[in-house]
Structure 1
């Protein structure tokens, strides 16, 4: 057997599906075996693989033992002359395996092989080729010198930035996303070190291959897409801790003497430094719009107060000073709060949400203003002018952000979309987008120029051009997003277009016979999906926030009116307990039906006192899952209110009871 492919998967069902489709193409005509080791995923990955890819050999773990352990489970049973460790969030070209096999056969000293990798926006990934993290190399990586001097021989030996990305090189460290290794070499130096849970195991094994007398190569003769960040959030504190702790394990294992001590100390310092920077960066990422909105609104209100006082009253100091510390901050908080509750910070470039939120906030402010005593109502005109300023400032701020960062993702409806594929797949793409609720400004379809259409591809009508002129069409129509139909295209061609057009455009791929459209525009964030399985209203931050507020508000209201309502409930002791648990966010008034074994595939909710299907005799698992799916897909606050109203007497029932 020529090749054994090992893929370790953890909650990346849709990316795994696309990866296996590309593997199926790339293994055609070769003697191969493919192992999928699932580390206790909760997204139906195992069932999907067994149903769609019966040729893959599956190991389903009942826990998550880590990346190294899972790979070793398959490697111990692999029979190929070469072993490939492949990430599930990758996409290989049709001839990737044949080219790697030919290169390995031509280099008998080869222990390991890595290939050219690009991310989901077509950018070259520097970790395609890496050097050994000696104390100095680790220092330049940990403290950012490698990023400041990416082409430097002295400062960027971690990513070997001084070596050309389009030339073959002997390297020290392979990337764990694609590790092609000679089976005989693995038998000599040993499998992955299971002391590494995730990260570092690729560095350790690469180093042991070179210590065993073999050579590792970077081979750019083929390329893969690596979406990155699918199994862990790369901007999280946990990622920083796990990554640098792996470096500490490596240093203790392979380095001795003062150099090892300094490296371990430096890694410890790097953990704290990177953790601090991560906290600050994450906080800024989350709070930058609310903070800038609030600062701009408040300063603008102070300026408007003086201008209006000078214009209307002829005295810039007409208004009392306490307005600056009472009214203006209150206006600012209420406007920014209305944007938050309306979802304006979840989708900052959705101007419809922004304006509607500010409108509701202004109406609420005017209502409160009218109820205040006369001496606390300084000027209705100032409030209205302030509302106009709040609208103008927030729109100006977001417009400036889009100009400074053209790649900032706006709402799908704002993006100009092109579909590349034959008519049948293009129509399926549009249908899936519609069902997923991800509408876009559809420009048209571009026909593949690589082959003639088959009868199943549909008529080749209503096309705006062919892929021979894709770059020209993108410029002409100012395209912002492209969806490639991989059933009609070669992965090699898709990668070529991504590299040619560059990261200005967002790219997504519709896998063959799949219900998901996959893409990832930034390597430091998780990928995105358009799929009828995961685009559920209950997963919308606005809906989740509304559900949280409804639970707390209703629980507080029922507690305050307890003497009036407790007589309406059947189980009064359970009712009091449920009121308290909902108030402290341990329970929700409405959750999923607990009898559904697949409810873990849906967005997580707290256990519910009530649930869809309460009082019915439906007991088939499929029916219960369908009830939960409909609840999640079409969720609105009215659904919770309707269930609470219908089953108010049951609010004292035991949570998770199926009846």
Structure 2
């Protein structure tokens, strides 16, 4: 078997369904398997998997064993030469795995391959590629110096800004939402460290691979949607988690840094004050109009009823291309994409093409009765049932 895709799930039943659908499409021409590990969800994730995807291997944990252990359990049962660690709140293109595996086969001393991640509004996620978070690099991240001096190597290493968004190349650290590597290498380094704190598991795995003299790569030729499962607002709680993660990483691989501890304490105080002054985040305003890209006009009528708003119908039998002139960016617009007629790859391309602060997106996954997406990288995402 060539590829095993490991998806660790916890209480994101609808995102999981869409993710597995996209993965199955991407594995159509590949000798591969999907393994879903559920960390004791209390929604109906497992029942959905049994009903809709009986062919998918499902591992049901009786407790929430955490990200590292859950993925390690999945890899233990994987049969593929390669494995892909994949978040359930992702959507892959139909050609994502074929492109990644073709690239992998050409590399010597292969470590981990990551790809171009975008959020639910089509914007690039800079954590797709990162550098080793030494105390100095962490300092430039905490105080935003990487934004002020994006072209200066002294300040731009946290998000590996030596590589552009659309440039493939070697990087040090990749994000755990999407990682492809050889299963043998994963097992050789012991997989994810089960003692790891939040925010450090993927850093630790990436660095452990580098220690084996392997090369990690950022691969830009395929884009994957990553709906951000947890708010990325940089408040005091976030900074506390960041501190715990970095302390774990330093204690394991380096010596503890007094410089970093002082900086992080200042950072926690700074962001706590900023958060207090900002107050509660404002809710995103509702769309002023909706456009449904489909060939099913009856579904459009159902959406009008559910959304309690007029939904413009764009018949894909007549409109061969979805272009920016069809979407007015002078008012808030929500674009709804019918996956029955639009491939996941095309959905992703539309997000990247039409991205704008006034445009939001939802996908209607094929053979489902819900639309799903995210209006901001700072929120968990939204699902609306059609029936």
SS of aligned partner of 1:468: coil
Q: Do the aligned partners of 2:371 and 2:386 also contact (CA within 8 Å) in 1?
A: no
Give the match for residue 250 of structure 1: 249
For residue 312 of structure 2, the aligned residue among 443, 450, 463 is 443
Q: Do the aligned partners of 1:67 and 1:197 also contact (CA within 8 Å) in 2?
A: no
Tell me, in whole angstroms, the C-alpha distance in 1 between the residues paired with 2:151 and 2:367.
43
Q: Do the aligned partners of 1:483 and 1:510 also contact (CA within 8 Å) in 2?
A: yes
Alignment of 1:180-191 (within 5 A): 180-191=180-191
Residue 468 of structure 1 and its aligned partner are, at CA, apart by 2.0
- Given the alignment of the two structures, is residue 513 of structure 1 paired with residue 367 of structure 2, yes or no? yes
Q: Do the aligned partners of 1:4 and 1:35 also contact (CA within 8 Å) in 2?
A: yes
Give the match for residue 471 of structure 1: 324
- After superposition, the C-alpha distances for 1:103-157 in whole angstroms (9 at most, x for unaligned) are 1111031110000111111111111111110111001111222234444422221
Give the match for residue 299 of structure 2: 428
Give the match for residue 411 of structure 1: 286
Give the match for residue 60 of structure 1: 60
Structure 1 spans left out of the alignment, 5+ residues: 287-346, 348-408, 448-459, 534-659
Q: Do the aligned partners of 2:118 and 2:225 also contact (CA within 8 Å) in 1?
A: yes
Give the match for residue 43 of structure 1: 43
Q: Do the aligned partners of 2:304 and 2:311 also contact (CA within 8 Å) in 1?
A: no
Q: 1:207 to 1:24 in 2, by over 3 A?
A: same
Tell me, in whole angstroms, the C-alpha distance in 1 between the residues paired with 2:40 and 2:197.
15
Tell me, in whole angstroms, the C-alpha distance in 1 between the residues paired with 2:47 and 2:269.
41
Q: Do the aligned partners of 1:233 and 1:239 also contact (CA within 8 Å) in 2?
A: no
Residue 270 of structure 1 and its aligned partner are, at CA, apart by 3.1
Give the match for residue 270 of structure 1: 267
Pair member with larger Rg: 1
Structure 2 spans left out of the alignment, 5+ residues: none
Give the match for residue 499 of structure 1: 352
Give the match for residue 214 of structure 1: 214
Give the match for residue 260 of structure 1: 257
Q: Do the aligned partners of 1:84 and 1:181 also contact (CA within 8 Å) in 2?
A: yes
TM normalised by structure 1 equals 0.56
SS of aligned partner of 2:327: helix
Alignment root-mean-square deviation, CA: 2.2
Q: 1:63 to 1:47 in 2, by over 3 A?
A: same
- After superposition, the C-alpha distances for 1:253-288 in whole angstroms (9 at most, x for unaligned) are 1112xx73323443344344434434444x2436xx
Residue 428 of structure 1 and its aligned partner are, at CA, apart by 2.5
- Greater relative contact order structure (CA < 8 Å, 6+ sep): 2
Q: Do the aligned partners of 2:231 and 2:377 also contact (CA within 8 Å) in 1?
A: no
Residue 240 of structure 1 and its aligned partner are, at CA, apart by 3.8
Q: 1:521 to 1:149 in 2, by over 3 A?
A: farther
Give the match for residue 33 of structure 1: 33
TM normalised by structure 2 equals 0.92
Tell me, in whole angstroms, the C-alpha distance in 2 between the residues paired with 1:176 and 1:485.
29
SS of aligned partner of 1:24: helix
Q: 1:179 to 1:280 in 2, by over 3 A?
A: farther
Q: Do the aligned partners of 1:417 and 1:481 also contact (CA within 8 Å) in 2?
A: yes
Alignment of 1:453-464 (within 5 A): 460=317
Alignment of 1:134-213 (within 5 A): 134-213=134-213
Tell me, in whole angstroms, the C-alpha distance in 2 between the residues paired with 1:8 and 1:469.
34
Residue 178 of structure 1 and its aligned partner are, at CA, apart by 0.2
Question: Which of the pair is proportionally richer in helix?
Answer: 1
Q: Do the aligned partners of 1:418 and 1:483 also contact (CA within 8 Å) in 2?
A: yes
SS of aligned partner of 2:367: coil
- After superposition, the C-alpha distances for 1:407-428 in whole angstroms (9 at most, x for unaligned) are xx4335xx211111112xx533
Tell me, in whole angstroms, the C-alpha distance in 2 between the residues paired with 1:27 and 1:430.
34
Q: 1:115 to 1:466 in 2, by over 3 A?
A: same
